A and B are shown apart, each in its own frame.
Chain A
């Protein structure tokens, strides 16, 4: 069986950089991480310098995802040896126990972390994950509420996230979705504004575009709005519809199988046509 470097004709530096990219972008492509990481560790450990520890962590978590307990165990051993009293490594040991469904043992480990450091949110989050895995959702929610005691609702969390990450179009868009789901005229108008903001940050965010279209349409259709508000929202929705059409036209170009989606969107937009009363 040939190595990754042979198969893909990559150098060890490229493999290392790929792992870093996946770390930074929080990709959870565990099979790939295991393939690349395992080879890097086995063949090029000495060249990696201090990077090796974070790679051990990354590969260990991916190994748990792929049921590679052998690999997870060896990564964990290296980390334990290097960082004998680390809470971070303890948490990894806990994750391995979770993967083996030894929840009692995992909880004991997390509790010992929390005894030392009650503000350790990582350990708290793992405990909540265990409750979810065991199907104890109401207890998980209770714990989560305690953990989130400074935040009242999901919307509030997203507000915090947006404040600290003002350029992140995804949070904006998700906030719009939460507001839309909560419903009611005020929330729909807010939703529309946040979808619009998400689009300002990334004009290719299709969810935000559709969200803008749908929320503006609903506001325009509401009997409670003034003529001006209705007129404005009809304009926003029409703009969104044209952007959507354009995006699908461009996407459908040349690909036969996309004709279905393009047609579906066109008909949908047509049938939800907004007209001035």
Chain B
């Protein structure tokens, strides 16, 4: 059962901006355990706020607890004008599990060395999935803690502090009515948002932008995933080639032996580099795109809520004077929502741009580093072989 050690943590880079800056409330996930299919996160909080009972504490949480927290926030009417940070996706070990299955099937045809290396690769992939899921859960909490309004949410505080099993609390009645099917709501929202006549230029622009951008970014995420997977396949092939070259070299008794040895060794070294290139690309590019696909969706959700509020406000205007008060209230709500919404969307864009910049720069730097490393390995090998 892999756990996360501190060294891995330092290697993690959040796809969002560095969030954990405010000393009054610092949150991180220093540790996580994987038990069968369930991941148990250790949520660690350090705070100077008096609302908490202790200055420092840790609680175990499951993925479902995070979802509960997210849904609760979404359904809180006061937060309608805020972009609620997207819920972390469910831990998905499907890909390494499938690979493990294939490895088991192919065991008979591989050499012991090959098998060991493939197993190493598999473990690395498993660990990478694990790292990623910890990261997205951590970022979710840090987004909340750095938000001026959401960080004060009572449910959030309960989530951080409550040292009993949260699943009991999760079943408690919620403050607002829950919407049953998300997909149903989504399509209704799409209709609403495209139909509603927009009065505000800012929101008109945002609507156009977000609708288009969300499709494009979803597509880019998929294509980036495929690209990364192909890269991983190439790295895996290097393992097989290295292993077979090694076997040939072992039985070789001509002048070729040294060449085959070095050649096999080179493939082994290169596959490590290629593997890192693939995983860096995954983390910096694919993860970035994945995250912002979700975040764009959260921004869209804000627009939907606003559209619904506007619709509600307008509807009431058809009724008799008795509903005037009601209407005024709705209109007020709508305006407040719009105001906060505008702020949120603007800061969201800023956040997005900064995150993209950071990750693209880091990815370019890493790619250059890896390529230079490969070049020096290869040139060293060629030199040796030419003098052989």
Q: A and B: partners?
A: no
